[in-house]
Amino acid sequence: MEYEECPYCGKKISREEMKEHLEMHYEEMKEEEMKMLEEMKQQQKAVMEDIKTANPELYIDFLNDLAKEGNREIKMLCAVEYLSMDLVERAEEIFKEMLSEPDADVYNGLGICARRKGLYNDAIQYFMKAIEYGEIEVSSTNICDIYEELGEFEKEEEFLKEMIQKYENGYLNAIYARALLIIGRHKEAEDFARKAIQLGEEMEGYLQLAFALIMQGKNDEAEKTLIEMKNKYPDKLQPYILLANIYMDKGEEKAKEYLDEIYKKSRDPYVMEYLAISYMSLGEEEKAEKVLKEAIMLHNLPNFHLIYGALLLDKGEDAKKEFLKALELSPTLNTYVKIADIYLGANDYENARKFVEIAESKFGKDEILYCIKGDISFQEKNYEDAIEEYKKSLMLGENIDAYIGLIRSYKELNEKEKALEICKKAIEIFEDEELYELLKELGG
């Protein structure tokens, strides 16, 4: 009789008995099969990503052929891929084909398409249909995002109130807390965040509770909340970031410890930018430089070159090389403006003016460029020149920075009545704390 070794337990089993024996290992076999299928899926996904990056047109042709398949899962995959490539019309076609057997994913997809097209009312209706089909959290978040984008906070609050009455859901309480924070009702936000945690939505609940406590000046309570959150969710970055911010406000060494923890956990470009700026604000130039050099090597984004340039200026070194690299990656008006602002902040008025002039030669007259020229003249105490530049800026468009510069320039020239008149006019256009402070200084 011939014996074989069982691949799962190592036991010697006769060929005749092997089939029956393997039935004992059914769950292990199933798990191994699923693992193999997942690996194949990941490999296929990687191949698809390579094609999309190397040859987008070929990838679109591939998706078009794939979308003709009757399989619902494949159609959904294609629609999602079209959205990722911003081919909204094509994605919408696929989702609409699937309306014969609708579900929450189809209505959510149609909602995203409508939102991308700026059809916000249609988008909200689609997301409401998705809620009817059982997708409460993602759809509600999308609806809230639309209301916030449109500045319709009362409608957002009304929507969330109705949803909370209808569904006993922790996440809804958490996003209601977020909405209340936006409109400044911090104590109510705290209450709803605590309710979210009670209902089991700990992650988002803790986060909104911490924000609510910070906004009320209860930093000690916020710190305890965030430490609890950190201990429960050690892989999440939010508690570390908020704790670092709390300690930075206190000016304590503990902030550096949390920043170091964040650095150990992530090389995400947004996180690395946060770390570089935070280290710089704490005077940790060596750590900031280390992060920036690594970020440039990993991501090579224009913002990293701009921040590194600012760091070099702080150290009294030449930053132009980094600024030129930023412009090479992003030769836009916005990049020139950022460079000029950095030089202005470093009191290097000559280079600030030089980059403004180059931007003017490339992009023409612009309200922001006139405003920066006004700021340069103001810093050089040439207040009359500054006034002329701010006026030119305001002729091209209403902007608060030009108004503030104009008010401060007239104030420096002791023309307080003129400054007060402009300040009152600006307040009619902009609800801004700095304008109210200036009004108070001018005796208005």
Confidence of residue 180 (pLDDT cuts 50, 70, 90): very high
The lowest-confidence range among 81-85, 246-250, 396-400 is 81-85
Q: Hey, is 251 helix, strand or coil?
A: coil
Query: pLDDT at position 141, please?
Result: 95
**Could you tell me if residue 438 is inside a domain?**
yes
| Bigger pLDDT: 374 vs 34 | 374
**Could you tell me if residue 394 is inside a domain?**
yes
Q: Judge whether residue 7 has pLDDT over 70.
A: no
Tell which residue, 141, 137, 260, has the closest CA to residue 201: 137
13-27, 278-292, 426-440 — most confident range: 278-292
- Print the domain residue range for 32: 1-46
Q: Judge whether residue 8 has pLDDT over 80.
A: no
Q: Tell me the residue type at 155.
A: K
CB-based burial label for 191 (10 Å; 0-12, 13-18, 19+): middle
Query: pLDDT at position 268, please?
Result: 93
Query: How far is C-alpha 236 from the chain's CA centre?
Result: 16
Confidence of residue 49 (pLDDT cuts 50, 70, 90): low
What's the CA gap between 92 and 82, in Å, rounded? Answer: 9
Query: pLDDT at position 82, please?
Result: 80
Q: Judge whether residue 44 has pLDDT over 60.
A: no
DSSP 159-174: HHHHHHHH---HHHHH
Single residue among 31, 46, 61 that ends a domain in this structure: 46
**Could you tell me if residue 10 is inside a domain?**
yes
Q: Judge whether residue 47 has pLDDT over 70.
A: no
> Could you give the number of structural domains in the chain?
2
**pLDDT tens, residue by residue, 124-148:** 999 999 999 999 999 999 999 999 9
What count of residues does the chain have?
A: 444
What's the CA gap between 91 and 110, in Å, rounded? Answer: 8
Q: Compute how many other C-beta atoms are within 10 angstroms of the C-beta atom of residue 414.
A: 8
**pLDDT tens, residue by residue, 326-344:** 999 999 999 999 999 999 9
Q: Judge whether residue 66 has pLDDT over 80.
A: no
Average pLDDT over residues 100-122: 93
What's the CA gap between 95 and 91, in Å, rounded? Answer: 6
Q: Tell me the residue type at 58.
A: L
CB-based burial label for 440 (10 Å; 0-12, 13-18, 19+): exposed
What's the CA gap between 238 and 313, in Å, rounded? Answer: 31
Confidence of residue 325 (pLDDT cuts 50, 70, 90): very high
pTM recorded for the entire structure: 0.71
Query: pLDDT at position 54, please?
Result: 56
Confidence of residue 40 (pLDDT cuts 50, 70, 90): very low
**Could you tell me if residue 78 is inside a domain?**
no
Q: Judge whether residue 14 has pLDDT over 70.
A: no
Confidence of residue 373 (pLDDT cuts 50, 70, 90): very high
Confidence of residue 23 (pLDDT cuts 50, 70, 90): low
Query: pLDDT at position 72, please?
Result: 82
Confidence of residue 303 (pLDDT cuts 50, 70, 90): very high
Q: Hey, is 153 helix, strand or coil?
A: helix
**Could you tell me if residue 163 is inside a domain?**
no
**Could you tell me if residue 2 is inside a domain?**
yes
Distances (CA, A) of 17 to 8, 22, 23: 15, 9, 10
What's the CA gap between 225 and 212, in Å, rounded? Answer: 11
What's the CA gap between 359 and 357, in Å, rounded? Answer: 5
Confidence of residue 39 (pLDDT cuts 50, 70, 90): low
Q: Report the CATH number that the domain containing residue 415 is assigned in CATH.
A: 1.25.40.10
Query: pLDDT at position 81, please?
Result: 83
**Could you tell me if residue 206 is inside a domain?**
no
The answer to whether 271 and 262 have CB atoms below 8 angstroms apart is: yes
| Bigger pLDDT: 381 vs 39 | 381
Query: pLDDT at position 87, please?
Result: 87
Average pLDDT over residues 200-209: 93
- Mean residue pLDDT of the chain comes to 88
Query: pLDDT at position 92, please?
Result: 94
For the chain, the distance separating the N- and C-terminal CA atoms, rounded to the nearest angstrom, is: 105
What's the CA gap between 191 and 209, in Å, rounded? Answer: 8
Q: Judge whether residue 67 has pLDDT over 80.
A: no
What's the CA gap between 278 and 241, in Å, rounded? Answer: 10
**Could you tell me if residue 292 is inside a domain?**
no
